[in-house]
Chain A
Amino acid sequence: MSGNLLHRPSIFRRPDGIGGALPALILIILFFVVPVVALLLRSVTEPVPGLQNYATLFGDGTYARVFFNTFLVATVVTAVTVIVAFPVAWMLAIMPPTLGSIVFGIIILSMWTNLLTRTYAWMVLLQRTGVINRTLMDIGLISQPLPLINNLTGVTIGMVYIMLPFMILPLVGTLRAIDPMTLRAAALCGASPLEAFRRILLPLSLPGIAAGGLMVFVMSLGYFVTPTLLGGTSNMMLAAMIAQMIQSLLNWGLGSAAAFILLVVTMALYALQLRLVGAKRMTGGI
């Protein structure tokens, strides 16, 4: 087998240096590393050299609130996504392959639809005069429209929907790898379905939940469009605050500092994810 490989044209061989990655590397250095370094420098040089931008961000109650909001939204979104995604992933894992690939296709297709379009669709559904409130009022379930938009509820609904595929995909991989016999064995030993879920399925699927959960959490931290359109001003998240600082207040120093903090937190979480789940599992599981 290995002998065969050696005789193949070099293009099929595993690259042994970083030569093959050079174009990507140059791209990343030019369009990611350089701007990020410049961002960091701006955050400590504008308007005057020093750490005052960071001091402002950490010392001011308003910004603390925005940081808190950001983590709150990311946590709630991640938790709800796990709960909604798990049954779907389990169903996909045990479905016959043909049916499974159709459901899979539907999930992937929703990922490909434009983010803005999907978010506007939620606005139409959730607003006070929207489809959901109208229907509920028409059938007499409620007399006043429910506040489903411009608040945490709206952000959560919109973002969970967008994040679902990122949770389902790694979870399906993990769940497929679980031997169904273990569940049968649990049942034979007298475990109730709930107990089998709690003591067998859940622990075995933890790596998938951790991988998907961290990915959803990290993506949620930097989200801009959905929280802006479906949330209220009191749910402002970091990304929206950065945009405001740079576009409306023209305060590049403060905006850069906030962006850099977001970047550091994201990187730290990503490093944690690599440690917990292992790089191979994370990339291979999807």
Chain B
Amino acid sequence: MKLILTGILAGLLAATAAHADEMVFTSWGGTTQEAQTKSWAAPFEASSGIKVLQDGPTDYGKLKAMVEGGSVAWDVVDVEMDFAIKAAKDGLLEPIDFNVVPKADLDPRFTTDHAVGSFYYSFVLAWNKGAVSGEPTGWADMFDQTKFPGKRTFYKWSAPGIIEIALLADGVPADKLYPLDLDRAFKKLDTIKSEIVWWDSGAQSQQLIASGEAAFGQLWNGRVFALEQDGADVGVSWNQNMTAADVLVIPKGSKNKASAMKFLAAATSPKSQAMFAEASGYAPINTAAKAEMPADVVKSLPDAYVDGQINLDMNYWAENRDKIAERWYAWQAK
């Protein structure tokens, strides 16, 4: 019965499935997917003759339904790395064929048997200069309501980042974060809960900060970069910036697996990665990409702020994803 339902669901979802010489790339929409289309899909189409159809936004529920129902409409999907590790364990992903995808220059932090990096980013502290007096210097300031009053904005979904931020602000040393002390983190978060405005998409985080609706917040560095490019009056602190990555995966049962592998090879090549980084402000996962980029772009990437940088532990998160998510949403709903 479960199969029948997922079959029906997947059948409906697969209505957009690609034909021969076509494949479907799914990502998160907005400026990020635009940059991926321009930097990866367009050159790939020109060189391979394979048409890349764009779909989105990424939806883990849909991905699971497609794989379980055996009717997979997506060939390459941009997902968060902790999800990819978990999904690989659950048998939802195809293994990567590293004979097609050159592995040598790929950042090993973001490469697994079932995923290659898409890009990596840092959570940084950003603020609206008109709404904040003084200059916040670190995560602890987000919890200091006397020094820095006003609304603060955080990522709404259960994901690596905010738990770690709360623990750092509470005095946990960066090298003692894992395993996460959830009780302590939620207790710390309770102290500012009424002042939190949640953002659930990158565009919303930009809108909240740019308008001053939230005085400051935890943002993806690429989104702050875009705000600066637009001339918004924002400040940013890279102190204890936290890296996390998006990765590219192929759902199990993809009908265009061969094309998908070729696409992965093209998307992770130094040149494609350099183009994307320049367009988005996110960092390349190919270590050879930097040589292809203008010096001022290299300077604006998370790579330039490795001092005090914290790598969010994706393996820990993959292991504890469900448990943390359950507590997270229960805490939010309280």
Interface residues of A (CB under 8 A from B): 34-35, 38-39, 41-42, 45-46, 60, 62, 65-66, 69, 127-129, 150, 232-234, 236, 241, 244, 246-250, 252
Compute the total of residue contacts between A and B using a CB distance below 8 Å: 64
With A62-B330, A233-B332, A247-B61 already in contact, the answer to whether A34 and B8 are too (CB < 8 A) is yes
Tell yes or no: B16 within 8 A of A by CB.
no
Residues of B within 8 A of A (CB): 1-2, 4-5, 8, 59-61, 64, 151, 156-158, 197-198, 211-213, 322, 325-326, 329-330, 332-334
Supplied contacts A41-B1, A248-B325, A249-B326, 11 more A-B pairs, CB within 8 Å: A38-B4, A38-B8, A42-B2, A62-B330, A65-B333, A128-B213, A150-B197, A233-B198, A236-B333, A246-B61, A249-B329
Contacts of B59 in A (CB 8 A): 247
In Å, the complex CA distance between A45 and B156 comes to 30
Residue of B nearest to A232 (CB): B198
Chain A contact residues, majority secondary structure: helix
- CA of A234 to CA of B330 in the docked complex: distance in angstroms? 9
5 pairs of A and B residues whose beta carbons are closest in the complex: A38-B5, A233-B332, A62-B330, A247-B61, A246-B61
Chain A residues near B2: list those with CB within 8 A.
41-42, 45-46
Interchain CA distance A236-B330 in the complex, whole Å: 10
Closest to A254 in B: B326
Q: Name the one of B1, B211, B212, B329 contacting A38, with C-beta atoms under 8 angstroms.
A: B1
B206 to chain A, nearest CB (A): 14
User: Are A234 and B332 closer than 8 Å at their CB atoms?
Assistant: yes
Cβ contact within 8 Å between B151 and A45: no
Partner of B211, one of A129, A233, A244: A129
Contact of A129 among B213, B325, B326 (CB under 8 A): B213
Question: How far apart are A232's CB and chain B's nearest CB, in angstroms?
Answer: 8
Task: Chain A residues near B330: list those with CB within 8 A.
Answer: 60, 62
Q: Which residues of A contact B211 (CB under 8 A)?
A: 127, 129
Most B CB contacts (10 A, CB to CB) among A35, A46, A65, A128 go to A128
Q: Which residues of B contact A65 (CB under 8 A)?
A: 333-334
Complex partner residue of A234 from B197, B326, B333, CB under 8 angstroms: B333
A250 touches B333 (CB 8 A): no
16 residue pairs bridging A and B, Cβ less than 8 Å apart: A34-B8, A35-B8, A38-B4, A38-B5, A62-B330, A62-B334, A66-B333, A127-B211, A234-B333, A236-B333, A244-B329, A248-B61, A248-B157, A248-B158, A248-B329, A250-B60
- In the complex, the answer to whether A129 meets B60 with C-beta atoms within 8 Å is no
